[in-house]
Homo-oligomer: A and B are copies of this chain.
């Protein structure tokens, strides 16, 4: 008994995506194949449109605007003297949702669990350096290391700091402390320690 080839092909493609195992991929494949063809076709169209998105050559955020630069990088009211280095596109969204940041970004790309920066990440840092060197003063005012405070995030932060410290007057990190709604009882000592140090 052979699995129909289109099912097999879809399963192969789908199970390469983050967080999808072969079993779930098979379930999804038969689910789609069993519905009206429109369901599969609308997924196809949705995926196709994803492939047509552009990556901003400055901050590496993904966007759909007609211009080459993204909405943020092309905005005249954003502060290009303050750059936040984030890991993922969704981190840009999270930062934007706060409404508290008017600087610009550099999307570094997924942090590797093996330590070290990938070639893409190094290239992105290089492009930022070049851009800063072309600016007046060859330095920006502030570089925010906005990577998640996890073991690997902290490692990557240190590497980015080393690379970029000559290019920014000030290097900062996101504040650590008790999250809103979090209970002191369950805060780990490091978090609580940071919260005490940063009290105001």
Q: Which residues of A contact B (CB under 8 A)?
A: 1-7, 9-10, 12-14, 17-20, 24, 26-34, 37-53, 55, 62-64, 71-72, 88-90, 92-93, 96-97, 109
* CB <8 Å contact, A51 and B44: yes
B13, B29, B53: the one within 8 Å of A7 (CB):
B53
Determine the residue in chain B with the shortest Cβ distance to A31: B18
Interface centre among A28, A29, A50 (most CB of B within 10 A): A50
Instruction: Check A17 against B28 for contact (C-beta < 8 Å).
Output: yes
Contacts of A33 in B (CB 8 A): 50-51, 53, 62, 89
Secondary structure of the A side of the interface? helix
Question: Is B32 in contact with A51, judged by CB distance below 8 angstroms?
Answer: yes
- Among candidates B12, B31, B50, residue contacting A29 with C-beta atoms closer than 8 Å: B50
Copies in the complex: 2
Q: Which residues of B contact A2 (CB under 8 A)?
A: 71
Q: In the complex, how many angstroms separate the beta carbon of A109 from the nearest chain B beta carbon? A: 7
- In the assembled complex, 23 residue pairs joining A and B whose CB atoms fall closer than 8 Å, in A order, are A1-B72, A3-B93, A4-B53, A6-B46, A6-B49, A10-B49, A10-B50, A13-B43, A14-B46, A17-B28, A17-B31, A17-B43, A18-B28, A30-B89, A33-B50, A33-B51, A33-B89, A34-B89, A38-B51, A40-B48, A40-B51, A43-B44, A44-B47
A188 to B33, CA, bound (A): 36
